[in-house]
Amino acid sequence: MRILLTNDDGIFAEGLQTLVQEIKKIAETYVVAPDHEQSATGHAITMHRPLRAEKVQYYHSPEIPAWSVNGTPADCVKLAVEAILPCRPDLVISGINRGANLGTDVIYSGTVSAAFEGVILGIPAIAASLTEYNNPHYEFAAAFIARLAQEFIRQEKPRDLLLNVNIPGCAPEEITGVAVCRLGVRQYKNTFEKRTDPRGRTYYWLAGELVDGEAETDTDVAANKACKISITPITHELTDFRLLDHIKSWRIGLEEGRVSSGKTGKTGTACDAED
Ligand code: MN
């Protein structure tokens, strides 16, 4: 079994280093990861400057081939599979991220996007995150992910399977189980702080507090709150199949008349009037 490890916290992040030490016990291990933190970069890829991959050595695992890349998490997986590794990996694992990747936050996550890149290339993947940010203990999480990886490889599965895994921040002995569940919703309030710089100009800083209001109980958000490890199979298939037939019924075919230049008709909203 050959496993490619990556992350979005940077190649020397503790979560990735701890994972290397567990995964190397069970598989031929390669690491290709960003040279600095790339959290919340989503699925960005680098097109307008050259990518460089520099061979690096972990102090604790000098035998593990590892490359540091001046790109995004998605770049790292693409580059690893298409250009760096001697053979295709059987599995991509991204993480262990410092901080949760739950619910709607997976859209912004570099950790999850790296795993999606694996799936896009036809390699199943696991995205692993530890909810605790300030005082993370990665050993338990890494051991769990290694066990999951072994089972993952053993099981019959589609090549585009991606598991999003979040390990709660509570002490290992307080973890009450594993929930296989759907993604929830993460909502924030006071998203931007409005401040004034020393020259008197306004600037905004993205911060935001989590709204603790989700009532649903069958989601990854709820599972983590209940000290359970959450596992959600997720997909990059973005088509909304519920609406395909409905949209087909709209009067937008060419037989309805040529498409107008867009200069006619009122398109403004109430917001325009207020501005
Ligand atoms: Mn991160």
Q: Residue 34 above 50 pLDDT?
A: yes
% of the chain residues with pLDDT over 90: 80
112 is a domain residue: yes
- Over residues 219-252, the pLDDT tens digits come to 999 999 999 999 999 999 999 999 999 999 998 8
The rounded Å distance from CA 110 to ligand 1 centre is 7
State the average pLDDT over residues 45-57.
98
The rounded Å distance from CA 194 to ligand 1 centre is 25
The rounded Å distance from CA 158 to ligand 1 centre is 27
Measured in whole angstroms, the distance separating CA 50 from the mean position of its chain's CA atoms is 24
The rounded Å distance from CA 27 to ligand 1 centre is 24
The residue range of the domain holding 114 is 2-184+215-240
193 is a domain residue: no
Q: Residue 133 above 90 pLDDT?
A: no
158 is a domain residue: yes
The rounded Å distance from CA 257 to ligand 1 centre is 50
pLDDT, position 254: 78
State the average pLDDT over residues 101-112.
96
Q: Residue 200 above 60 pLDDT?
A: yes
State the average pLDDT over residues 164-169.
96
pLDDT, position 275: 46
The rounded Å distance from CA 167 to ligand 1 centre is 14
191 is a domain residue: no
Q: Residue 215 above 50 pLDDT?
A: yes
Q: At 262, is the pLDDT very low, low, confident or very high (cuts 50, 70, 90)? A: low
State the average pLDDT over residues 189-204.
94
State the average pLDDT over residues 164-170.
95
The rounded Å distance from CA 168 to ligand 1 centre is 15
35 is a domain residue: yes
Q: At 11, is the pLDDT very low, low, confident or very high (cuts 50, 70, 90)? A: very high
The rounded Å distance from CA 10 to ligand 1 centre is 8
255 is a domain residue: no
Q: At 274, is the pLDDT very low, low, confident or very high (cuts 50, 70, 90)? A: very low
pLDDT, position 90: 96
The rounded Å distance from CA 101 to ligand 1 centre is 9
10 is a domain residue: yes
Q: At 261, is the pLDDT very low, low, confident or very high (cuts 50, 70, 90)? A: low
The rounded Å distance from CA 9 to ligand 1 centre is 4
Lowest-pLDDT range, 124-128, 152-156, 212-216, 255-259? 255-259
The rounded Å distance from CA 228 to ligand 1 centre is 21
The rounded Å distance from CA 200 to ligand 1 centre is 33
Q: At 148, is the pLDDT very low, low, confident or very high (cuts 50, 70, 90)? A: very high
Q: How many domains does the chain have?
A: 1
The rounded Å distance from CA 129 to ligand 1 centre is 8
The rounded Å distance from CA 95 to ligand 1 centre is 8
Domain of 106: which CATH number?
3.40.1210.10
The rounded Å distance from CA 217 to ligand 1 centre is 26
The rounded Å distance from CA 206 to ligand 1 centre is 16
275 is a domain residue: no
Judge if pTM exceeds 0.75. Answer: yes
Q: At 56, is the pLDDT very low, low, confident or very high (cuts 50, 70, 90)? A: very high
Q: At 214, is the pLDDT very low, low, confident or very high (cuts 50, 70, 90)? A: low
Reading the block at residue 224, the tokens are 């983590």
Q: What is the dihedral of CA 215, 216, 217, 223, to 10 degrees?
A: -90
